Amino acid sequence: MSRICYAFVSDNLIISNISFFFPDRPTSFAATSAILQLSTKYMVSRLREKAVYHLCRLYPTSFDDMNPDHKDLSLEVFGTTSGPEHPIILVNLAQSSNLTKLLPWAYYSVIRWSFRDMVIGHKCHDGTTVHLSDHDKQKCLLGFESLMSTQHANIKNIFAGPSPRCQGSVNNIDCVSGISDALKRALDEHGTGLIAPLGPLRRKVNACEKCLQNIRHLDLELRKKVWDKLPEVFDLPPWSQLLEEEEE
Ligand SMILES: [Zn+2]
């Protein structure tokens, strides 16, 4: 029996077809988590790499890997249509398996999911409740405040006014009022606690094509900045260090 098999049997866990775990095929979150935790515990690095790769298909560690349209990839990755796991579960998995590079996205997802869950925990379908540790809760609360403030500033920047290329054109007066209206609506939504600094703008803005291009450009640039600073928001090392740690 191989070292891996001994390890799994000694933990009283039966993972069938372990040798057929191919990260490009659908594998459930539960099985992937178990493989990650056990391969971490018993230092089976190749298996851990596979599990990490599989999780990163759904949970991004780079701006380009992010899924800004929130296309549901759960079926493709985990073979389920019931949506992704609650992000508190992801935070706890990342912590228990030293997968720090997943934490920025996991914390961000907790914040987006539900403030109530972040504070008091989430009741799962099976009746169990998952909680953040006090340490993680503190990081999420501070991150929430920081991202809300960033989002507020970004909205004001994105809808600051017409594009310099529009100024003086026949559209300009309409663009000023269209963009001002969009700013007002964006701030109204922000006031309700909506927090999506990494999500692209979806609102209709009544402005000329040059202004719309300018708005889309600003939106993209500011989202990239939010992504770059995401670890810092949660008091984690920068992306470069988080990604290096995993390769060591
Ligand atoms: Zn314009």
- What's the pLDDT tens digit per position in 5-40? 444 544 444 444 455 566 678 888 888 888 888 888
Ligand 1 geometric centre to CA of 160 (Å): 12
**Residue numbers of the domain that contains 181:** 148-233
Confidence of residue 131 (pLDDT cuts 50, 70, 90): very high
Torsion of CA 52, 86, 145, 157, to 10 degrees: 80
Q: How many Å apart are CA 9 and CA 57, to the nearest integer?
A: 28
Distance 181 CA to ligand 1 centre (A): 14
| DSSP output for 130-195 | E---HHHHHHHHHHHHHHHHHHHHHHHHHTSSS-TTTTTSTTHHHHHHHHHHHHHHHHHHHHTT--
Count of domains forming the chain: 2
CA of 210 to the centre of ligand 1 (A): 6
Q: Is the dihedral of CA 41, 42, 43, 46 positive or negative?
A: negative
- Tell me the CA–centroid distance for residue 190 and ligand 1, in Å: 24
d(CA 177, CA 162): 9
Distance in Å, CA 106 to ligand 1 centroid: 38
Q: Is residue 94 part of a domain?
A: no
Band (221; pLDDT cuts 50, 70, 90):
very high
66 falls within a domain: no
The average confidence (pLDDT) of the chain is 84
Whether 216 contacts 84, CB under 8 Å: no
In a domain, 137, yes or no: no
Among 202, 206, 178, which Cα is nearest to 189's? 202
**What pTM, to 2 d.p., does this model score?**
0.84
Domain boundary among 38, 58, 78: 58
In angstroms, what is the span from residue 129 Cα to ligand 1's centroid? 51
Q: For ligand 1, a single-atom ion, which residues have Cβ within 5 Å?
A: 162, 166, 171, 175, 207-208, 211
Q: What confidence tens digit (pLDDT) does each residue in 82-91 have?
A: 666 889 999 9
Distance 162 CA to ligand 1 centre (A): 5
* 3-class state of residue 129 by DSSP: strand
Choosing from 58, 81, 98, the residue where a domain stops is 58
pLDDT at position 187 = 85
Q: Inter-axis angle of helices 87-96 and 29-41, to 10 degrees?
A: 20
57 and 107 Cβ atoms separated by less than 8 Å? no
What is the percent of the chain with per-residue pLDDT over 90, rounded to a whole number? 47
**How many angstroms does the Cα of residue 214 sit away from the middle of ligand 1?**
9
Please choose, from the candidates 76, 82, 187, 181, the residue with its C-alpha nearest in 3D space to the C-alpha of residue 124: 82
Q: Among the listed ranges 21-25, 61-65, 186-190, 206-210, which one has the minimum average pLDDT value?
A: 21-25
Residue 181 lies in a domain: yes
pLDDT in tens, 51-82: 888 888 888 899 988 866 666 777 777 777 66
Q: Quote the crossing angle between the two packed helices 209-233 and 134-158, to the nearest 10°.
A: 160
In eight-state DSSP terms, residue 9 is H
Among 58, 79, 95, give the residue marking a domain's end: 58
Q: What is the pLDDT of residue 46?
A: 85
Residue 248 falls inside a structural domain? no
Query: Does residue 85 fall inside a structural domain?
Result: no
Q: How many A from CA of 209 to the centre of ligand 1?
A: 7
